[in-house]
């Protein structure tokens, strides 16, 4: 047999870069290391961006709070955790969740000690007159229906003289009228102290869900809007 020796002869099946300049030879181990590093950096970047978004969202839009005490029984209980909508602080009038309304459950800094936060129900609006007769609330002389109250926590039925609410102030009360420190005793809350409206309960497990805000007859609300408009004209 004739043996033919050829320079640069390779075993059958071997592909050499010299065969075609367009052929790319890949080192799988090196590529896998580079790919892992690249994907890790992308993951760190995405996590960082998510954290930044959550922080900004918490600072400007939604904040968790913890209920401390029993002044809002039976709607809220001690130890429950709520999410607070902070859009109301910016007074976006074009949407319902962007401004305060009667019946909202609001969170605010206690006027006599701003280091403390309270959660109460918003009862009276700026310019209105609030009076309590035998435990029942009257707004500008009209009875305020409050179906969120229960008899068990409203047995004392005290009376309080009429109070005129100043501009940019709100009158708040706890649903547990027998055990609530609220505007009946220390006056109305400045608007700037109200930093959010509670809208969702995420703890405890048996009561997770959206909070139902108090809503009232349109007749009462329309009278209030007319009165507020008159007060604004005077200003």
Structure tokens at 45: 């970047």
Confidence class for position 179, pLDDT limits 50, 70, 90: very high
Q: pLDDT at position 173, please?
A: 98
Tens digit of each residue's pLDDT (9 = 90 or more) over 103-139: 999 999 999 999 999 999 999 999 999 999 999 999 9
Greater pLDDT, 172 or 221:
172
For residue 192, indicate whether it is catalytic.
no
Q: Distances from the Cα of 30 to the Cαs of 17, 35, 65, in angstroms?
A: 18, 9, 50
Q: pLDDT at position 60, please?
A: 66
| 197 has pLDDT over 70 | yes
Q: pLDDT at position 99, please?
A: 83
The strands making up 142-143's β-sheet, listed across from edge to edge, are 142-143, 136-139, 129-133, 160-164
Sign of the alpha-carbon torsion through 147, 132, 66, 189: positive
- Angle of CA points 226, 146, 181, to nearest 5°: 95
The residue-averaged pLDDT of 173-178 equals 97
Question: 182: closest CA among 140, 130, 128, 146?
Answer: 130
| 234 has pLDDT over 60 | no
Confidence class for position 1, pLDDT limits 50, 70, 90: very low
Q: pLDDT at position 201, please?
A: 96
For residue 120, indicate whether it is catalytic.
yes
| 231 has pLDDT over 80 | no
- Transcribe 185-215 into DSSP letters: HH-PEEGGGEEEEEEEEEESGGG-EEPPPP-
Indicate which residue of 86, 120, 180, 183 is catalytic. Answer: 120
**By mean pLDDT, which of 32-41, 81-90, 108-117 is the weakest?**
32-41
Give CA torsion, residues 224, 230, 234, 235, to 10 deg. Answer: 50
**By mean pLDDT, which of 9-13, 58-62, 65-69, 189-193 is the weakest?**
9-13
- Phi, psi (degrees; rounded to nearest 5) at 40: -65, -40
Cβ atoms of residues 98 and 88 within 8 Å: yes
Residue 14, SS3 per DSSP: coil
Indicate which residue of 16, 70, 71, 117 is catalytic. Answer: 71
Greater pLDDT, 196 or 1:
196
> Half-sphere exposure (CA, 13 Å, Cβ side) for 94?
0
User: All domains of the chain, ordered by start, with CATH?
Assistant: 63-234 (2.10.109.10)
Confidence class for position 68, pLDDT limits 50, 70, 90: very high
Q: Residues, the chain, total?
A: 235
Question: 16: closest CA among 27, 8, 28?
Answer: 8
- Beta-carbon contacts of 98 under 8 Å, excluding residues fewer than 6 positions away, are 87, 88, 90, 91, 92
Q: Distances from the Cα of 79 to the Cαs of 44, 69, 176, 230, in angstroms?
A: 35, 8, 16, 42
């Amino acid at each position: 047999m004739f043996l033919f020796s050829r320079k640069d002869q390779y075993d059958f099946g071997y592909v050499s870069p010299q065969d075609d300049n367009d052929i790319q030879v890949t080192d799988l181990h090196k590529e896998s290391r580079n790919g892992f590093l690249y994907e890790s950096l992308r993951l760190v970047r995405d996590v960082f961006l998510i954290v930044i978004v959550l922080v900004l969202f918490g600072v400007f839009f939604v904040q968790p709070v913890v209920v401390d005490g029993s002044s809002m029984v039976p709607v809220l209980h001690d130890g429950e955790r709520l999410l607070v909508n902070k859009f109301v602080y910016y007074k976006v009038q074009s949407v319902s969740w962007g401004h305060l309304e009667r019946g909202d459950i609001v969170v605010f800094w206690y006027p006599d000690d701003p280091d403390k936060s309270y959660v109460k129900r918003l009862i009276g609006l700026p310019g209105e007159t609030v009076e309590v007769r035998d435990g029942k609330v009257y707004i500008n002389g009209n009875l305020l229906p409050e179906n969120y109250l229960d008899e068990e926590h409203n047995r004392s039925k005290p009376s309080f003289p009429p109070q005129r609410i100043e501009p940019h102030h709100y009158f708040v009360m706890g649903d547990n009228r027998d055990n609530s420190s609220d505007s009946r005793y220390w006056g109305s809350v400045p608007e700037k102290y109200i930093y959010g409206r509670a809208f969702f309960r995420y703890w405890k497990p048996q009561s997770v869900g959206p909070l139902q805000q108090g809503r009232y007859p349109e007749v009462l609300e329309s009278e209030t809007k007319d009165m507020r408009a008159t007060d604004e004209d005077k200003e």
